[in-house]
Structure formats: structure tokens, C-alpha cells
Amino acid sequence: MRRICVMGTGYVGLVSGACLADFGNAVVAVDIDETRVELLRSGEVPIYEPGLEELVDRNRESGRLSFSSDVAFAIQSSEIVFICVGTPSLPSGEVDMSFVHNAARTIGQYMEDFKIVVNKSTVPVGTGDEVEQIIRKVRPDADFDVVSNPEFLREGSAIDDFMHPDRVVIGAGSQRAMEAVVDVYRPLYQNDTPMVLTGIQSAEMIKYASNALLAAKISFINEIASVCEAYGADVTAVARGMGLDERIGPRNLFAGAGYGGSCFPKDVQGLAATARRGEVDAPLIEAIDTSNVRQRRRMVDKLHHLVGDFSNKTICLLGLSFKPDTDDIREAPALEMVASLIEAGATVKAYDPAAMEHSKQEHPDLICCEDPYTAAQDADAVVLMTEWNEFRNMDLPRLLDCAATNRFLDCRNIYDPHEMVRLGFEYVSVGRVSRSPGESDDTSSWMIPGRFSPIRT
């Protein structure tokens, strides 16, 4: 059992803290946001993440997990301090390191004996050295080691990702620190989870390089989707045919509205900025973000093509969060769609199972509805932006009855085009031939759509 302090109780800090407590460690989680700490202390979980509330409750009740605003006590009573604070983008694309730097200063200020400082935030290569210098400056005689332990969890499946990761990456500069952090992950080590034990710089790079490649895969299939549209090919069949090649793999090969969220956009930009700062010419890395920005714009253009001028139109959006099973709207493609529509004079009605409160704060003009059918009432088009499971099982004839027209833009390709047309929709999706009711479709009798779908992961 290790005594651990987790700095930051956001998506990563809270999930990591709860999971590390579940591994049997004694964890105290702190945050500079006192309201958040109070909420957590009163038994509430301020983010939507499947299974998190139960995990937090269980570990709090067992006494292994606690929340505090007393940072000095939390640091002094721990052997290992995990930094899990935000690293947002600056307008330049560079990473805003102020939260990490402040956390390092706080550690230096309060530490009294040997500490292992583990950076779990996603940070540019070289941050380990910066953290060391900051702590050293505040406390020149301090005894501590810095470790990089990037986190790969995905919102929506965060607990399972943390408990059953593809790998754990630990970058350390000393044997004592490496052994201590490996020990924290002992339950995973015993499960044969691969451990990548390396230097700090390499660990930092692994996270950035992984996210950039995953984002590139999405941008790549989105561009392929546009080429498919130009020549009548079906991107879902293309993705399946590609993904069965083991060197490519089926994951992250879904054409859609472009990637969003709090990680891919900022990490891709952060890596590009890191390359530029190191005077490295990296045109491929630079292009990932450009391609994604265009893809998001392409969705707005598709809708424009479908409904014409947006002014005085009513548009129904299904899904607002950047992906299903989260309330996170950071960089969500749906929010960009909302902004474009409202700016052009449209009325936007939306339904999302978890993200309406946050979205409304960002766009007060957004009309949030209690279900998809109310949102579709009198709409000039229905646009599916996020592939929540409940949208897969919607009563589509009822939706069609509610809307003022039969136009449907599916930005996530979750419906079968043949079926949508049979139901009476004018159906547009991404990288697949658009069809209207009455248009001849001589493949529908023998194509089995499910067999041509990509494997969704």
C-alpha cells in the first residue's frame, strides 16, 4: 500500500485517484477548485463517467479515498504525488503549462521529505526537466525524483481503460522512483499488462505520438470519405476492407464529423508546436489539425447543401458531447455546428443524454429538449452529431412525423442508408452515396449492410 496524493480531480485525476485507491493504495485527491472538492466530499461526483460514482463511493467508504483542499497536508502525508492537472492549448497552439508549473511550485513549497513526483498530465517532451527545475528553485535542498506516467484512458470507458490498459508507460530517471511507480501498478503487473519502462523524455513522447497517430487515422479516413463521395464508393466498406489488414487495424477508422474532445485537438497542436520549437520540419503532423478543421467545416457545408440558407430555419441536433458516454463538450464538433447555425440566424433545438447543461452555458440561445422527438418538432432537418447508443434505437418513423421535412444528416454513419430511404428520409451521411425516397437503388435487395459496416470499437 502506497500513500498517494493526486493533484487535480478532473476526468483523469478523479478516475486515476479512484482506481489507484481500488488497487489498495491510500489516496488523497486535492483540487484548487474548492467547490469541486466540497461536492466530492459531500458524496457527489461532478463529472459524468459510467461507473465512476460507484467506484468513488466504494473507495471512500473503505477509507482508501479522500478529498481535501488542504494541499500542504495532502503532499506532506504522501510518498508519491501524481500531477493530473489540465494542459489546454494556447491560441498559438503551444501548450499552456501554467497549471503543471503551479502544481510543481506547490509541491516544492510544501514537501518536507523524499517525494516521487509523477506527471500524468499530457505534456510536451522536456516537461520532466522543467518540473524538476521548478521544484529545485522553490526548495534547493529537496530530495525528490520526477517520473512521467502518461494516461491513455478515454472518457466514456475511463475506468475500464485504467483497469485494463493496453500498456502502462513509466519514464523515470532513477531506479528507486521506477520501482515505486511500478509497485503502484502491481495489480496490473500481475495481470500481465505490458509495462513500458523507459526514460522520462521517451514516456512524454509516447503519449503525444500515440494521440497524433490516432487523430491522423481519423483525419485520413475522413479525407478518404470525401473521395468516396466524389466517386460513389462507400467509406464504411472501404474502412472495413482496410481495417482487416492487421497492419492497419479497424479502430479509429470511422468517417464522421471530425475529432474533438479535450485531447486530440490540443495534443496534435501541441506536438506540432513542439516540433516547430525544436526546428523540426513536420508537415504530416501539421496537416492533421488542418484536415480536421476542414472536416468539421464540411459537415456545416453538407447541411447547407441539404437545407439551403440557414436563416429562419429550425435545425434539430441529436448529440452535443464530443463522443458518446460523456458530458464533455470541449472542442465538440456539435458545438461548432451550433455556433455556425446560430450565427447564420437558425433556431437550434438539441437533445443530448448528458451534455445539455454544459452546452447551454456555452450557447444560451440553444434550445435544449427532453427527448429526440421534441427536438425534432417542426425541424427543417435533423442532424445526428454524436452516436449515443439511444440514437441507434430511436423510433425513426415517429421522428419523421415530428419533423417539418424528411431531411436527415447523419454525421456518424450510424444508420443504414437503404433503410433510411425506405422509411422516407432524404438521407445524407459521410462518405456514402446520399439518397432520397423514390431514387432507384438496385443494390438494396442483395447488399447486407451489416456485413459491410466497419468494426466499431
Ligand X SMILES: NC(=O)c1ccc[n+]([C@@H]2O[C@H](COP(=O)([O-])OP(=O)(O)OC[C@H]3O[C@@H](n4cnc5c(N)ncnc54)[C@H](O)[C@@H]3O)[C@@H](O)[C@H]2O)c1
**Interface contacts to ligand X, rule CB under 6 A:** 7-13, 30-33, 36, 84-87, 99, 102-103, 106, 121-122, 151, 153-155, 262-263
Active site residue 263: yes
Nearer to ligand X, 138 or 367 (CB): 138
Please report how close the Cβ of residue 315 comes to ligand X at its closest, in angstroms. 29
Residue 34's nearest CA partner among 71, 63, 65 is 71
Nearer to ligand X, 263 or 338 (CB): 263
Please report how close the Cβ of residue 350 comes to ligand X at its closest, in angstroms. 23
Q: Are strands 80-83 and 3-7 parallel, antiparallel or unpaired?
A: parallel
Nearer to ligand X, 25 or 326 (CB): 326
Nearer to ligand X, 31 or 132 (CB): 31
- In angstroms, the CA 383 to CA 303 distance is 8
Nearer to ligand X, 87 or 314 (CB): 87
Nearer to ligand X, 263 or 430 (CB): 263
Q: Are strands 426-428 and 407-410 parallel, antiparallel or unpaired?
A: parallel
- In angstroms, the CA 326 to CA 48 distance is 6
> What does the block give as the cell for 456?
466499431
122 CB-side CA count, 13 A: 28
Q: Estimate the crossing angle of helix 127-138 against helix 98-110, to 10 degrees.
A: 40
Please report how close the Cβ of residue 413 comes to ligand X at its closest, in angstroms. 23
Q: If DSSP states are collapsed to H, E and C, what string results for 122-153?
A: CCCCCHHHHHHHHHHHHCCCCCEEEEECCCCC
Long-range contacts of 128-132 (CB under 8 A, 24+ apart): 128/171, 128/173, 128/200, 128/201, 128/204, 129/200, 130/97, 130/100, 130/101, 130/104, 131/83, 131/100, 131/101, 131/104
Q: Which residues pair with 172 in a beta bridge?
A: 147
Active-site choice (19, 84, 228, 263): 263
Please report how close the Cβ of residue 420 comes to ligand X at its closest, in angstroms. 32
Please report how close the Cβ of residue 102 comes to ligand X at its closest, in angstroms. 5
Residue 75's nearest CA partner among 1, 14, 142, 12 is 142
Distance between first and last Cα of the chain: 34
Please report how close the Cβ of residue 87 comes to ligand X at its closest, in angstroms. 4
Report the residue number whose CB is nearest to ligand X: 10
Positions annotated as catalytic residues are 263
